[in-house]
Structure formats: structure tokens, C-alpha cells
Amino acid sequence: MPENLYDTEFLLQNLMENMADNIYFKDSDSRFILVNRAFCKWVGISREDILGKSDFDLFAEAHARQAYEDEQHIIQTGEPLLDAEEKETWPDGRITWVSTTKMPLKNDAGETIGTFGVSRDITDHKEAELRAAYYDEQVRNIKERMEEDVRMASDLQKTFFPRSYPFFRAAGEGNESAVQFLHHYHASGIVSGDFCAVHRVSETEAGIFLGDVMGHGVRAALGTALICAMVEEISALEKDPGNYLGRMNELLLPILRQEDMFLYATASYMVFDASSGTLRFANAGHPVPLLFPVEEDSVQWLMDDASLRGPALAIAEDAEYQTMERIIQPGSTVVMYTDGLYEMESPKGEEFGEDRLLAAAVRAGGLPLEKLFPALTDAAADFAGEGGFNDDVCLVGFTFHNPM
């Protein structure tokens, strides 16, 4: 066995020459006094040409200055630099990254006479990290812009809903309206697929529309924008509710029925004559409205037979929608609503359902609209518990006070 097998110099030489990491020793002025083969390969200079030089001879000013200040701090304080990421900028503009540990170099007397360090190339890892950070920032910026766009869409969508209601002066003295209208809107997200409209269609008649576009979010909201534009256009041309929905179906079908998209909407449309109390209405796959007669304990569905509803909009070509008629007595109320009101689920997964909705309506019978709507939504919300509304909800209705 060779005598120098465990000689310190022999062991150090093997460590220096076989390590893939860069190893270097520097004097108190941060000049190289010893480097290993890997370091020579890293900087592309022979060992003889490196000795006596400093980082200022090998790298650009910014990195060389930082390395020098770090080493002088170690010499002055004795505090090591551990696992520091260093950005190396080369004279030709090339950038590399190393993970560096530097320690104080001491003589036999314990005096600090320089530094020594080990640097490992982490350029590939760091570039991947920087790319990931860049893409994260890009995604964050895109997300923020999209969220801002959606918030703007939400503000715009709110303008679709009624800001005022038609006024029909009741017969006799005073300035009272023959009909009181009201709507309530709750979006489960920033934007919604529910939409309602109340507009005058003649001197004595008002048109009331309620629609629910399938799904949630931006797709559904775009559907409501389309319907909103159509409501006023069709109202000027067609007062018959069945023909009204038929025309809307005709317009929506080619827009919503694309090869890569399936979107549809349910809707209910009614025209109420404030002079006679005549209500004409049609339904396109929408929940059946509630009728609150003047007798408070006899709340009922407006349609006796739910099968009379036509198909949802944008489902079938040449769909036909039946116009139904009913006389509304003074003191009575009619309420339309979207399915989010009764599809609420309890913590056990049980749906609130239409039967419970009707029971809640019976309990709330006789309340004015401004109290009736909260009574219905609170009943559903209480049933759902902490989960709250998980779907868009819209209610719109009217109370017939006195004929014109």
C-alpha cells in the first residue's frame, strides 16, 4: 500500500481533479491561487493563465464586483456564503448560473488569508425556472385581463335588466299604476345565463320575458346578450306570445347550434293587458309560472298542464309554441322564475323541488312583490343551508291592482 495513500495533499489532489464542480482558492485580494480542472474547463483558460487573475479578468463587471464584495465580506467577518445563486455574465454577453458556497481560507495560526469555494453549474435548472416564472407571469397577466373583461361584462350585463317599468294609470282619481312590476336577479358567478325584460307593447299592454341560457359563465352570458338584442326587435313585430317564441327560436337556432357547440335556452313570454286583465302567455321549456290569486290561500301553477310547454329555444327547427290565455283578477300576482330557484340542494343532496316551492308560495301568499320575492328565495336558501345558491336565479312578475 503506498505510503501517501492517506496523505492530505494526495487526497486533495484527487478531489480537485475529479470533481465535476468548480473548486477554487483565492488570496485576500480575491486573486486565484489554485483551481481544479473543472474550473479551467468552465472558463476556457488553462490553469497557468488563471493563477494570479481575478473574476474581473474572466467575467463582466456586475458579476465580478458582486463576487469580490462577497469574498471581502467573508474575509472581514469570517461568515461563509452558503448555496448562493450567482448570475455569471461573460464578456461576450453569455449568461450562466452557479450555486456557490464560499468559506474563509485560514492559515495554521487561524488567520483568514483568503477564501475558497465550490460552484456548481445550475444554468439549465435556472433557465427552466426563469422560463416557468415568465410563463407564470404571462398566465397571471392573461388571467387578470380576462377577469377584468369578465367584470366589465358583468357590469354590462346588469344594464340588460329593467331599470324602470311601464306605467299604466289606473281608472279613477289619483296617479296610481294599474300594474306593479318587479324583478329580482342573483348571479351564481360574475356573469349569468338568466335574463328578463319588461316593456310596453301598446297603450294598455306590457310584455314580460324571462329566459335562462343553459350553463354558466361567459358562454351563457353571451347567449343572454343575443337574446337581449332579440327581445326588443321581436316585440316590435310580434305580440302573440307563441309566435314571439317561435320567431326567437328561428333566430337563435342557426347561432347556437354549431358543430362544436350545443347551447339552448328556456324562456317564458307573456303579454298582460292592464285594461281587461287578460294575460296571454307561451312557454319554451321553462318552469311554469306561479299565480297568486286575490284569495291568499289558493296559490297555483299558471298552467294546468305542464305538457303544454313547447321545446326549449334552439333545440328544434319549426318548433311551435301554444299561446294560452287567462283572466287575471285585480289583486292577483303572477311570478315567473328560473330553475335555479327550485334546483337548490340540501346538504344531503335532496332537491328543493317544485312541490316545496309551491308550498313556500302558499305560505307567502298575500305578500307584496317586494316581500314575496325574498320569501321565496329565502325558503330555498334555508333548505340548502350553508351551500347557498349554486345556480343563477331570476324572478320577474307583476301584481294587477286595478284596471285602467
Query: pLDDT tens digit string along 222-254?
Result: 778 888 888 888 988 898 999 999 999 999 888
Identify the weakest region by mean pLDDT among 53-57, 185-189, 350-354, 388-392: 388-392
* SS3 label, residue 171: coil
| pLDDT of 108 above 60 | yes
Alpha-helix runs per DSSP H in 316-366:
353-364
Question: In the prediction, which pLDDT does 259 show?
Answer: 62
Which of 68-82, 186-200, 227-241 reaches the highest mean pLDDT?
Answer: 68-82
CA end-to-end distance (rounded Å), the chain:
120
Q: Which of 218, 221, 236, 244 is nearest to 313 (CA)?
A: 244
| pLDDT of 4 above 60 | no
Query: pLDDT tens digit string along 259-288?
Result: 666 789 999 999 999 999 999 999 999 999
| pLDDT of 333 above 90 | yes
Question: In the prediction, which pLDDT does 369 show?
Answer: 96
Q: Which residue shows C-alpha cell 354590462?
A: 156
Distance CA(16)–CA(273), nearest Å, equals: 98
Question: In the prediction, which pLDDT does 307 show?
Answer: 82
Given a contact cutoff of 8 angstroms between Cβ atoms, the answer to whether 88 and 22 are in contact is: no
Q: Which residue type occupies 32? A: F
Query: pLDDT tens digit string along 135-178?
Result: 888 888 887 887 777 677 667 767 778 899 999 998 876 788 99
Question: In the prediction, which pLDDT does 143 show?
Answer: 79
Distance CA(86)–CA(126), nearest Å, equals: 10
Give the confidence band of 56 by pLDDT, cuts at 50, 70, 90. Answer: very high
Q: Hey, what's the cell of 273?
A: 293587458
Q: Dihedral (C-alpha) 299, 304, 307, 312: value to the nearest 10 degrees?
A: -50
Give the confidence band of 1 by pLDDT, cuts at 50, 70, 90. Answer: very low
Question: In the prediction, which pLDDT does 17 show?
Answer: 83
Length of the chain: 404
